[in-house]
Amino acid sequence: MPLKLGSSAKPGLPSEKTFYLEEFHGKSLLFLLVPPSGRSLGERAALRRTLRELARNQTRCVVLAPLALFPRLTEQLGRLLPRRPAPTFNPSEGLRSYPYPPDETVAEIWRGLREGNVLAAAAATGDLPVLGNFALRLAARLGIFKLVILDRAGGLVDTAGRRLPFVQSRRLPSALGRQGAAASRRLLMRLATRALEHGVASVNLASARGLYQELFSFTGSGTLFTRQSYGQVEPISMDDFAEVEALILRGQNEGFLLPRSADEIARLLPSCFVYRVGSERLAGVCCLFAAPYRRERAGEITALYTLTRFKGEGVAAELLHKVVGEARARRLRYVFACTVEDNAARFFSRLEFRRAAPAEVPAAKWRRYDPERLRRLSVFRLDLARPT
């Protein structure tokens, strides 16, 4: 079984949930319940569990639901809600005015949130186009950090039925084509994109039952929408060390990375680069480990790992491109990488690394190296010396 991050096996190491709670601390989230989502007791219980964690975290949460669902929803949320009567909004009122939603709507939401961190609001319609337009405009008007759309079907899928964990706005047309003729799903995708265009930082599409995993885990359960580029590659800061250590440990536990002790990981951290997705958490990590190979002016590309949610999105290639650029800036002669994974071997081959013999990289690499692993290892090398 994989090690659970934050368990007693690694005391003091933050859990996945802790990382995301830190990201949400002091922020505001808007949850839209799309009918029939929220009708079942299990869905409402899952929503309550998530909201309870966020409320304890000082995250402001506004839940928008159709009026027909409201009695069961407020009963389930119980003490999480303020004592004052829940507001009911008519999305058709003020639709042609500016600003929309009107000031009184914003003021009513703030009055509720002054009494607690969770507010449920009813919309006097269950019509999805009207309800969705009101939700995205409200999210933009409030400056919401994240809009979470809860639909019973969950996140998007590709033609093979595999979940699409991440969609960038410019890729929406191709994603739309994968969703078939379901008008409601296509409408939700356009809703997510319009919310981003109106300034919402990110949008999540997930089921209520999968909400906890979607918000508090690296893998997620639905689809995350962001604007334009995913993010950027940058050297890590001291504040990133704990999270990067957690990513490396996760890669080790999944069998993708060479097992290392805590001291060995600590020696890697100063040479790590990360891929940061906008205001979200880290999506991947890669290290340029050169200290042991200074005499040979060589660098090892190691601890290259991308979270499941972002695999296939070019994150690993951008990390590697940045690290190779850093190696050139340091005037290294070559970089090398070692792997026992077939997918990783194909990845390095596509990026112009050539297969090399163990003797073509620094001998220091093989001191106290596991002979059994060495027999299964593929070594890749990229020469950086400029032609004369």
Let me know whether 218 and 71 are in one domain.
yes
Let me know whether 292 and 179 are in one domain.
no
Position 387 pLDDT exceeds 70: no
pTM of this structure: 0.75
pLDDT of residue 159: 77
In a domain, 65, yes or no: yes
Let me know whether 198 and 244 are in one domain.
no
- Cα gap 135→62, rounded to integer Å: 10
pLDDT of residue 161: 81
Question: What is the chain's length?
Answer: 388
**Sheet with 28-33, side-by-side order of all strands:** 88-89, 118-123, 60-66, 28-33, 146-150, 202-206, 223-226, 166-168
pLDDT of residue 8: 31
| Other Cβ atoms closer than 10 A to 281 | 18
CATH number of the domain residue 378 falls in: 3.40.630.30
Let me know whether 237 and 303 are in one domain.
yes
Q: What percent of the chain has pLDDT over 90?
A: 61
Choosing from 164, 191, 226, the residue where a domain stops is: 226
User: What confidence category does residue 176 fall into, taking pLDDT thresholds of 50, 70 and 90?
Assistant: low
Let me know whether 199 and 106 are in one domain.
yes
Position 35 pLDDT exceeds 80: yes
Let me know whether 309 and 184 are in one domain.
no
User: What confidence category does residue 280 fall into, taking pLDDT thresholds of 50, 70 and 90?
Assistant: low
In a domain, 25, yes or no: yes
In a domain, 8, yes or no: no
In a domain, 9, yes or no: no
Let me know whether 177 and 48 are in one domain.
yes
| CB burial readout 192-215, b (16+ within 10 A) else e | bbbbbeeebbbbbbbbbbbbbbbb
Q: Which of 85-99, 169-183, 265-279, 374-388 has the lowest mean pLDDT?
A: 169-183
Number of domains into which the chain is organized: 2
In a domain, 35, yes or no: yes
Per-residue pLDDT tens over the stretch 138-147: 999 999 999 9
Choosing from 226, 247, 274, the residue where a domain stops is: 226
- Mean pLDDT value of segment 378-382: 96
In a domain, 134, yes or no: yes
Let me know whether 45 and 151 are in one domain.
yes
Burial of 368 (C-beta count, 10 Å sphere; 0-12/13-18/19+): exposed
Let me know whether 216 and 248 are in one domain.
no
Choosing from 180, 197, 226, the residue where a domain stops is: 226
Of 325, 311, 319, 214, the closest CA to residue 276 belongs to 319
In a domain, 7, yes or no: no
pLDDT of residue 117: 96
Q: Which of 93-102, 279-288, 367-376 has the lowest mean pLDDT?
A: 279-288
User: What confidence category does residue 182 fall into, taking pLDDT thresholds of 50, 70 and 90?
Assistant: confident
Q: Which of 45-54, 228-237, 333-342, 345-354 has the lowest mean pLDDT?
A: 228-237
User: What confidence category does residue 12 fall into, taking pLDDT thresholds of 50, 70 and 90?
Assistant: very low
pLDDT of residue 170: 61
CATH number of the domain residue 123 falls in: 3.40.1160.10
Let me know whether 84 and 147 are in one domain.
yes
Let me know whether 290 and 147 are in one domain.
no
Position 313 pLDDT exceeds 80: no
Position 34 pLDDT exceeds 60: yes
Let me know whether 201 and 292 are in one domain.
no
pLDDT of residue 229: 57
- Mean pLDDT value of segment 93-107: 89
In a domain, 5, yes or no: no
- Mean pLDDT value of segment 14-25: 80
Q: Range of 278's domain?
A: 232-383
List, in sequence order, every beta strand (DSSP E) within the chain.
Answer: 28-33, 60-66, 88-89, 118-123, 146-150, 166-168, 202-206, 223-226, 232-235, 272-276, 282-289, 298-306, 334-339, 354-356, 378-383
CA atoms within 13 A on the CB side of 251: 26
Position 16 pLDDT exceeds 50: yes
- Mean pLDDT value of segment 305-309: 80
Looking at mean pLDDT, say which of 21-25, 219-223, 224-228, 360-364 comes out highest. 360-364
pLDDT of residue 386: 59
pLDDT of residue 388: 35
